[in-house]
Amino acid sequence: MSEPIPFLVVSDSPCLSTGLGRIARELTEGLFSAQKELGIKVAQLGMYHDVDSEWPWPTWRMHDEEEYGAEDLARVWWRFAGERGGVVFTIWDPARALGILEASKKLPVRLWGYFPIDGVNSHGKFGGPAEMVVKGYDRRLGYGHWGAEVIKGITGKATAYLPHGLDLEMWQPRKAQADLSDVKDGQPMLYPIHKEYIGCVMANQPRKDFGTLFQTWALLKQKHPGLKFWLHADLEVKHWSVPQLAEDFGFNGKESGFVLTTGLNDNQLAEWYSSCWVTMLPSLGEGFGYPLVESLACGVPAIGFDGAGGRELLPRQAWRVGGRQARLESCYNIVRPVYSAADWAKKVEQTIEWVREDPAAAAYCRGAVAHLSWRHLFPRWKAWVAQGIVEIR
C-alpha cells in the first residue's frame, strides 16, 4: 500500500470564528476523517492560530501574517512532510496568495486553490498579482458557478465549483427561552422569543456597508416604530464605528430598539436569527455569504446584493438588491455597487409581508439551503479531492 500523500491546508486558523476560519476548519475536519479513504495525511497552517488549542490534525501557527504564510510554508512543509511531494491547498483570496505561489516553487508540492472571489473589474475579470496567482496554480476551485466562470475567463480553462456546507441540525429555527431583557459586554442575558427584529450579521470591514445598513434601519424605524434591530459584529470599532453610527441615526439606548452583540456562539446566533422577520447583508460583494445561508437555514429570509457569489444563494429576486450606480475600488478596480437605502427598506417591508402571509415561509427558506447540508455535500468534496490525488499518484 502506498504512503499517504501530505495535504496541507493554508488559511485562517481553525480557532477563528471568521468565514475563512470556519470553511478551513470544517473542510479540514472532513478531510481528516476521510484521510485513510483518500490516501492523504492532513495538516493545517493557520493565521492567528492559538498554539494552546488542540486539534486532531497537526496545526501550525502562521508567523508571516503580512504575506499570508509565504515565509512559513517551507518550514512547515519540511516538518510535516519532509522531502515527500504533496498538496498545498490554500483557502485565500487570490490577491493574498502570490507569496505562497513563489514559495511553493522551491517545494515538491502541487498548489490547489479554493478562491473566494467577491468582485471583478469592468471586464468581468481581475488583473495584477491576483491574476498571476489564479493562472499559476495547478488546480482551482470556485465557491459557486459565478466564481468558477470568473476563473475560467482568466485562465481559459473550465473550472469546477463547490459551495461550503452547513450543519443543518445546528442551523435551524429555534424556540427561544425568554424575552430579551439586557445585553452585557455584547452577550445576551436572555434570548428573544417573538419575531420582532430586522437582523444583520457582518464583520466590521470596508466591504460591508454599515452605512447603508443604518440608513435603511433609520427609514424603517421612522415608518414602523414597533420594529427592533439586531446587529452582530466581530468588533464595535474597526473600519466602521458602530457606536457612532448608532448615535448619528438615532439608535442609542434600549428605547431605540437596537441591540448589538459580539462573540456569540453558533447556538446563540441561531436563537437570534430565529427572532428576526428578515435579515440583511448589505455588503458590496460576497464570494459566498455565510450569514445569508445561516439565516435561511433558521427559517428566516435574507436580503443581499444582486451580484457576485451571494446572488446564487438567494432563490427569490425579491430578496436581492442592486446598486443604483457603481464605483471602482482598490488597486484592482473592482466594481462595487452604490446602494439606495430606500431600495433596501422596500425589500425588507415586502419580505416581512411575505412572511406574515405565507405559513410555509420558514419551510421555503430551509428548503433553499437543503443542498448545502454537509451530509449531502461532503461526498462531492471527497470526489473532487480523490480525483486530484489520482492525478498526483
Q: Which fold has domain 183-371?
A: Rossmann fold (3.40.50)
End-to-end alpha carbon distance in the chain: 12
Short-list 127, 125, 98, 130, CA closest to 111:
98
Output DSSP code: residue 2: P
Quick one: angle between helices 128-136 and 145-155, nearest 10? 90
Q: Would you kindly state where each structural domain of the chain is located, as residue ranges?
A: 5-165+373-392, 183-371
**What is the reported pLDDT for 179?**
43
Residue 47: helix, strand or coil by DSSP? strand
Short-list 226, 229, 201, CA closest to 215:
229
**What is the reported pLDDT for 59?**
97
Q: Which fold has domain 5-165+373-392?
A: Rossmann fold (3.40.50)
Same fold, 5-165+373-392 and 183-371: yes
**How far is residue 302's CA from residue 229's CA, in Å, rounded to a whole number?**
14
**What is the reported pLDDT for 365?**
97
- 277 near 303, Cβ under 8 Å? no
**In the chain, which ranges are continuous DSSP H helix?**
19-33, 35-38, 70-81, 98-104, 128-136, 145-155, 210-223, 242-248, 266-274, 290-297, 341-357, 361-368, 374-392
What's the pTM value of the predicted model, to 2 decimals?
Answer: 0.92
**What is the reported pLDDT for 330?**
94
**What is the reported pLDDT for 379?**
97
- List CB contacts of 310: < 8 A, sequence separation 6 or more: 281, 283, 285, 286, 288, 289, 292, 304
Short-list 294, 281, 285, 276, CA closest to 355:
276
Distances in Å between the Cα of 392 and the Cα atoms of 3, 29, 90, 162, 272 are 13, 22, 17, 21, 46
**What is the reported pLDDT for 19?**
87
DSSP letters for 82-138: TT--EEEEE-S-GGG-HHHHHHHTTTTEEEEEEE------TTSS--HHHHHHHHH-S
pLDDT in tens, the chain (393 residues): 589 999 999 999 999 988 899 999 999 999 999 999 999 999 999 999 999 999 999 999 999 999 999 999 999 999 999 999 999 999 999 999 999 999 999 999 999 999 999 999 999 999 999 999 999 999 999 999 999 999 999 999 999 999 999 999 999 998 754 444 455 565 544 444 467 899 999 999 999 999 999 999 999 999 999 999 999 999 999 999 999 999 999 999 888 999 999 989 999 999 999 999 999 999 999 999 999 999 999 999 999 999 999 999 999 999 999 999 999 999 999 999 999 999 999 999 999 999 999 999 999 999 999 999 999 999 999 999 999 999 887
**How far is residue 163's CA from residue 146's CA, in Å, rounded to a whole number?**
11
Backbone φ/ψ region at 327: left (φ over 0), alpha (ψ -120 to 50), beta: beta
- In this structure, which amino acid lies at residue 53? S
Residue 154: helix, strand or coil by DSSP? helix
